[in-house]
Amino acid sequence: MLDEHARLRSLLNDAIAAMHVSSVDYWVGMGTDEVVVRGETAEAVMAGIDAGGTAGFAVVLEFVSAEPQVIVL
């Protein structure tokens, strides 16, 4: 199960990197069907994943902030 989570996390990170830069915060998630769902809330993303019916047993969610963190060294 941990391998599946790592695989989905990697796919989701790639999908987030490929998305256009947004001026608003959003949630994004993916189930084992590898369909990316984006929404304003985690609940909306989970509803979208559940609506597909093929999410499987593993789901990853991530909050994407419009204001990325900047670390000044």
Whole-angstrom distance, CA of residue 17 vs CA of residue 13 = 6
Neighbours of 47 (CB within 10 A): 12
Give per-residue burial for 3-21: e unless 16+ CB within 10 Å, then b: eeeeebeeebeebeeeeee
Residue 46 has phi, psi (to 5 degrees) of: -65, -40
pLDDT (tens digit, 9 = 90+) per residue, 17-73? 998 888 899 999 999 889 999 999 999 999 999 887 766 778 999 999 888 777 787
d(CA 24, CA 18): 16
Record the pTM: 0.79
